[in-house]
A and B are shown apart, each in its own frame.
Chain A
Amino acid sequence: MSDATQDGPVLAADGRPLKASLRSALRRQKMRALLLIAPLLIFVLITFIAPIADMLFRSVENGIVSDTLPRTVVALDDWDYGSGEVPDEPVFEALFVDMYDASERKIHTRLGSRLNYEVTGVSSLFRQAGREMEDIGEIYEDQFDALDENWTQGEFWAQFMGDPDWYSEAAGAEDPGPTFVMKEGMDELLPLTAEAYQMFATFAQEEDEDNVATEDPWALVHARLYQDLTAGAGEGYDGFGAEELAAAREAVGDFESTTYKEAFLNVDEDWADLEIWGTIKAYSPNYTPGYFLKAVDAQLTPHGVEAQPDDQAVYVKLFGRTVWMSLTITFMTILLGYPVAFLLAQLPMRQSSMLMILVLLPFWTSLLVRTSAWKVLLQQQGVINDLLVWAGIINDAGRLVMINNQLGTIIAMTHILLPFMILPLYSVMATIPPTYVRAAKSLGATNVTAFRRVYFPQSVPGIGAGSILVFILAIGYYITPALVGGTDGIFISNRIAYHISSSLNWGLAAALGSILLAAVLILYWAYDRIVGIDNVKLG
């Protein structure tokens, strides 16, 4: 009206732009709404969304290899599985350093079990190697000790490697003492030694909570010192221990030594196994498709992606069975639920409310109770078999097997999910005016034709809504299949539960769960596109 005749933005009575005025008026309202839902929102975020996101992230997360063996992973960059040769000395040297650290921290076994999912035997290989690392280092530790006892003294090393100011503070301090500070220039003078000593110092202070100033260093440090000195490093040092270092530089030429490759092969021949190295390399990135491949019965091998051997291929079959059984259950609920919903929609209010209560009754009973009731009914010595035997329909020897198989799962789940079919069906049917069927009859259609051509097509959105609901619920069902499914009546979710709580392969569980979630979301999306999610009403 009059506002429209003005140029520019419409103004409110006080001269502010109307839009801004409206926004500020609505802001208070929005804030109020937000405050009202905030407790639930925070609760859901913390206890539900975040753990789920974390869990899903585990399906691709694979930092364990590069975290445990960082140097080995870098050294393996230049190695190619296709060459058919076992990696060279630098890789074994890096593995030695990584493994020494990991075994001190006792995390090498964790990596071992992780890689054991991919190649059997890695677990014991790693556990064994962890035990032997110190022996390899001691070859050098002993020789340095023979040369000068100072080389095995914690105080000497601390003064040799540590910053003087740090040492004066740390000497005599209570465990764990001040944080270790490296003497300036040490990492250039003896780079490998400095790195190893830093590893030791960090471990001693953080894990063991000891004072570095008095703690004897790892044998790893001696091995690295040998490595530095034979490479000609350590020249021109004039600080604490310069004499000892000079003497050691002279002596190392005559030291007995071993290559790390040999040392590892002595520990176990399997370290020459190409598959092991190929697997380590294949799983060295921080993110891996390995779990997802597992979930679809494939495997990431050094040769690339391969199908699992038939005897280990279980998941595709299990997914297939889950989908097939969910479809069967959905179909059964349509078959049983449609007439009930139809009756509900046709009956007068009073009877229909009564019937509705009967439909909803199962909702008020614990799921576990309902499932257990089916166990009682269906088992071989159960009520149904007893009745059939009593009636003479089957003989005592021929009792029907109706539980701990697919039949049991289908029967119990059809019953449990039936209300989820009836309610959306009913809500759609209740909106179909009776005049349509009357009109059809007045136009000459018989009852059957009127139903088939006029009523049924209009109830299809209800079937769609119910089916999608039942199917989504069924595909992720867990308790009922676990209780009445036996071995061939279980669903993919039971397998996920197994990996979460028994085999502890959370990555695989997460991958299986992600696939299931994706399938459900795709279904939901497709349904929303085709039928419109607004049609899903519960009563």
Chain B
Amino acid sequence: MTNADTNDGFVVFDRVQKSYDGEILVVKDLNLSIGKGEFLTMLGPSGSGKTTCLMMLAGFETATHGDILLGGQPINNIPPHKRGIGMVFQNYALFPHMTVGENLSFPLEVRKLNKSDREAKVKRALDMVQMGDFINRRPAQMSGGQQQRIALARALVFEPELVLMDEPLGALDKQLREHMQFEITRLAHNLGITTVYVTHDQTEALTMSDRVAVFDDGRIQQLDPPDVLYEEPKNSFVAQFIGENNTLQGVVKEVKGETCIIELDDGEIIDAKPVNVSEVGQRTQVSIRPERVEYNKERLQEGAHTLKAEVLEFIYMGDIFRTRLKVAGNEDFIIKTRNAPDQEKLKPGQMIEIGWMPEDCRALDA
């Protein structure tokens, strides 16, 4: 795994701002360094500025302020066709009037490669995505997944060092999407190319990336490897956006080093890990992942605070059980338990006590 800190930054956004109308900043002060060979995902809801960042990198939008550097060189004034960046578009953008072979040959033709080189490269790129037999097809004669592979091959055929992908799997069904996620990461790592991937699908971001930049409101909210992002969200937006999450509202009662005591709004007391709260009396939103909630007292720490919970709903999902509880006035408190032989199946109406390790319960901004 590569990291921006250990690399000099192959792609660097330096204090980049973007506004379309001169009134609203779509991208507010973006600083980002992407290492060579890294797979970085820009994740965020629509309107968060992630696609604008990608378009600025590709050269289709100009930064209102700040520099974008590629391989140490500022590229603000370089037109898109001279940047040498491969790009995969949301709807593939395969040229409908050209065959697959012609589509792949296009970037090589404009680079004035001779015919035999072109043919060899096209063949290699197609083999790379296992689409060698489709060279004479037209895009309209192929399924979405096949078109996706061709679009990928076309973005790679001229051997760019940087590939941008703008929600490339958005139009595929779930199974194909999962397969292509694997395919894309495999190719990216095998070829050692730097990839910037834009998506609003957090599963995609977690499974594919070396690092994920979570965008919201024109800013990067958190930039971390997937596991850190999931387990240690730095603010409540990230906690909410990545994975499923239970939240409880309260006030900080006591802070002692790595743990703190929170008094919930209905007066109950819980343990939590202070993340961005520091003072007693501060309002906070605590976040607990459903799979980290325990209701078997034996597994809880000595002296841990517990909460009373009423089982509202029990959903059998095969590999896991999903139980909806009423906890501290919150009727949407979800817990997930593994379907193990000794696992107790809770019944609606049952009263239980729940608790968690203090480090799994993160006290975030309210």
Instruction: Check if A458 sits within 8 Å of B107, measured CB to CB.
Output: no
Cross-chain contact of A443 among B60, B90, B96, B158 (Cβ < 8 A): B158
A446, CB-defined interface residue at 8 Å = yes
A131, CB-defined interface residue at 8 Å = no
CB distance from B203 to the nearest CB of A (A): 25
Instruction: Check if B93 sits within 8 Å of A444, measured CB to CB.
Output: no
CB distance from A107 to the nearest CB of B (A): 65
Instruction: Check if A444 sits within 8 Å of B111, measured CB to CB.
Output: yes
CB distance from A340 to the nearest CB of B (A): 23
CB distance from B357 to the nearest CB of A (A): 48
Contact string against B for A residues 444-466, beta-carbon threshold 8 Å, 1 for contact and 0 otherwise: 11110110011001100000000
The interface size bin for chain B is 20 to 34
Interface centre among A438, A441, A442, A453, by most chain B C-beta atoms within 10 angstroms, is: A442
**Contacting chain A: which of B78-86, B217-225, B268-276?**
B78-86
Contacts of B96 in A (CB 8 A): 458
In the complex formed, the residue of A with least CB distance to B96 is: A458
Instruction: Check if A454 sits within 8 Å of B95, measured CB to CB.
Output: yes
Contacts of A453 in B (CB 8 A): 106
A449 to B87 alpha-carbon distance, docked (Å) = 18
Cross-chain contact of A444 among B81, B90, B91 (Cβ < 8 A): B81
Contacts of B84 in A (CB 8 A): 444
Cross-chain contact of B86 among A441, A442, A458 (Cβ < 8 A): A442
Instruction: Check if A438 sits within 8 Å of B89, measured CB to CB.
Output: yes
Cross-chain contact of A440 among B83, B91, B106, B164 (Cβ < 8 A): B106
Instruction: Check if B85 sits within 8 Å of A442, measured CB to CB.
Output: yes
A436 to B106 alpha-carbon distance, docked (Å) = 12
A367, CB-defined interface residue at 8 Å = no
CB distance from A144 to the nearest CB of B (A): 91
The interface size bin for chain A is 10 to 19
Contacts of A440 in B (CB 8 A): 95, 106
A433, CB-defined interface residue at 8 Å = yes
B200, CB-defined interface residue at 8 Å = no
Q: Tell me the A81-125 residues at the B interface (CB within 8 Å).
A: none
Contacts of A443 in B (CB 8 A): 81, 86-87, 106-107, 110, 154-155, 158
A445 to B95 alpha-carbon distance, docked (Å) = 13
Contacts of A444 in B (CB 8 A): 81-82, 84, 107, 110-111, 158
Instruction: Check if A458 sits within 8 Å of B80, measured CB to CB.
Output: no
A433 to B95 alpha-carbon distance, docked (Å) = 11
B174, CB-defined interface residue at 8 Å = no
A447 to B82 alpha-carbon distance, docked (Å) = 11
Contacts of B111 in A (CB 8 A): 444
A436 to B154 alpha-carbon distance, docked (Å) = 13
CB distance from A430 to the nearest CB of B (A): 16
Cross-chain contact of B110 among A435, A436, A449 (Cβ < 8 A): A449
Instruction: Check if B93 sits within 8 Å of A441, measured CB to CB.
Output: no
Interface centre among A433, A441, A443, A454, by most chain B C-beta atoms within 10 angstroms, is: A443
CB distance from A281 to the nearest CB of B (A): 61
Contacts of B87 in A (CB 8 A): 438-439, 442-443
Contacts of A447 in B (CB 8 A): 81
Contacts of A445 in B (CB 8 A): 81, 106-107, 110
Contacts of A446 in B (CB 8 A): 81, 110
CB distance from B89 to the nearest CB of A (A): 5
Cross-chain contact of B91 among A433, A454, A457 (Cβ < 8 A): A433
In the complex formed, the residue of A with least CB distance to B90 is: A435
Contacts of B89 in A (CB 8 A): 435, 438-439
Contacts of A449 in B (CB 8 A): 110
CB distance from A255 to the nearest CB of B (A): 92
In the complex formed, the residue of A with least CB distance to B83 is: A442
In the complex formed, the residue of B with least CB distance to A439 is: B93
Contacts of B59 in A (CB 8 A): 441-442
| Contact of A458 with B81 at beta-carbon distance under 8 Å, contacts A439-B89, A442-B58, A449-B110 already known | no
Contacts of A458 in B (CB 8 A): 95-97
Contacts of A442 in B (CB 8 A): 58-59, 80-81, 83, 85-87, 155, 164
Interface centre among B59, B80, B107, by most chain A C-beta atoms within 10 angstroms, is: B80
Instruction: Check if B95 sits within 8 Å of A436, measured CB to CB.
Output: yes
A464 to B154 alpha-carbon distance, docked (Å) = 30
Q: Tell me the B102-161 residues at the A interface (CB within 8 Å).
A: 106-107, 110-111, 154-155, 158
Cross-chain contact of B80 among A435, A441, A454, A457 (Cβ < 8 A): A441
Contacts of A436 in B (CB 8 A): 93, 95
A438 to B84 alpha-carbon distance, docked (Å) = 13
A441 to B89 alpha-carbon distance, docked (Å) = 12
In the complex formed, the residue of A with least CB distance to B166 is: A435
Contact string against A for B residues 55-90, beta-carbon threshold 8 Å, 1 for contact and 0 otherwise: 000111000000000000000000111111111011
CB distance from B252 to the nearest CB of A (A): 49
A391 to B236 alpha-carbon distance, docked (Å) = 74
A441 to B84 alpha-carbon distance, docked (Å) = 10
A442 to B58 alpha-carbon distance, docked (Å) = 7
In the complex formed, the residue of A with least CB distance to B164 is: A442
CB distance from A213 to the nearest CB of B (A): 87
CB distance from A432 to the nearest CB of B (A): 9
Contacts of A454 in B (CB 8 A): 95
A433 to B139 alpha-carbon distance, docked (Å) = 15
Contacts of B93 in A (CB 8 A): 433, 435-436, 438-439
In the complex formed, the residue of B with least CB distance to A458 is: B97
A449 to B107 alpha-carbon distance, docked (Å) = 11
In the complex formed, the residue of B with least CB distance to A450 is: B81
A445 to B89 alpha-carbon distance, docked (Å) = 16
CB distance from B166 to the nearest CB of A (A): 9
A8 to B225 alpha-carbon distance, docked (Å) = 65
Contact string against B for A residues 521-534, beta-carbon threshold 8 Å, 1 for contact and 0 otherwise: 00000000000000
CB distance from A233 to the nearest CB of B (A): 86
Instruction: Check if A438 sits within 8 Å of B60, measured CB to CB.
Output: yes
In the complex formed, the residue of B with least CB distance to A436 is: B93
A446 to B79 alpha-carbon distance, docked (Å) = 9
A443 to B157 alpha-carbon distance, docked (Å) = 9
In the complex formed, the residue of A with least CB distance to B157 is: A443
A442 to B164 alpha-carbon distance, docked (Å) = 10
In the complex formed, the residue of B with least CB distance to A449 is: B110
Contacts of B106 in A (CB 8 A): 440, 443, 445, 453
CB distance from A367 to the nearest CB of B (A): 37
Interface centre among B58, B83, B86, B107, by most chain A C-beta atoms within 10 angstroms, is: B107
CB distance from B250 to the nearest CB of A (A): 48
In the complex formed, the residue of A with least CB distance to B60 is: A438
In the complex formed, the residue of A with least CB distance to B95 is: A454
CB distance from A81 to the nearest CB of B (A): 61
Instruction: Check if B97 sits within 8 Å of A457, measured CB to CB.
Output: yes
Contacts of A450 in B (CB 8 A): 81
A446 to B97 alpha-carbon distance, docked (Å) = 19
A450 to B60 alpha-carbon distance, docked (Å) = 14
CB distance from A437 to the nearest CB of B (A): 9
A444 to B79 alpha-carbon distance, docked (Å) = 10
A262 to B247 alpha-carbon distance, docked (Å) = 124
CB distance from A462 to the nearest CB of B (A): 13
A301 to B89 alpha-carbon distance, docked (Å) = 71
In the complex formed, the residue of B with least CB distance to A455 is: B95
Contacts of B60 in A (CB 8 A): 438, 441
A436 to B96 alpha-carbon distance, docked (Å) = 9
A87 to B154 alpha-carbon distance, docked (Å) = 86
Contacts of B90 in A (CB 8 A): 435
Interface centre among B60, B84, B93, B96, by most chain A C-beta atoms within 10 angstroms, is: B93
CB distance from B96 to the nearest CB of A (A): 7
Which 4 residue pairs of A and B lie closest in terms of their CB atoms, listed nearest first? A443-B107, A439-B93, A442-B87, A435-B93
22 contacting pairs across A/B (C-beta < 8 A): A438-B58, A438-B80, A439-B87, A439-B95, A440-B106, A441-B80, A442-B58, A442-B59, A442-B80, A442-B81, A442-B85, A442-B86, A442-B87, A442-B164, A443-B155, A443-B158, A444-B81, A444-B158, A445-B81, A445-B106, A453-B106, A457-B97
Given contacts A439-B87, A442-B59, 5 further A-B contacts (CB under 8 A): A436-B93, A436-B95, A441-B59, A443-B106, A457-B97
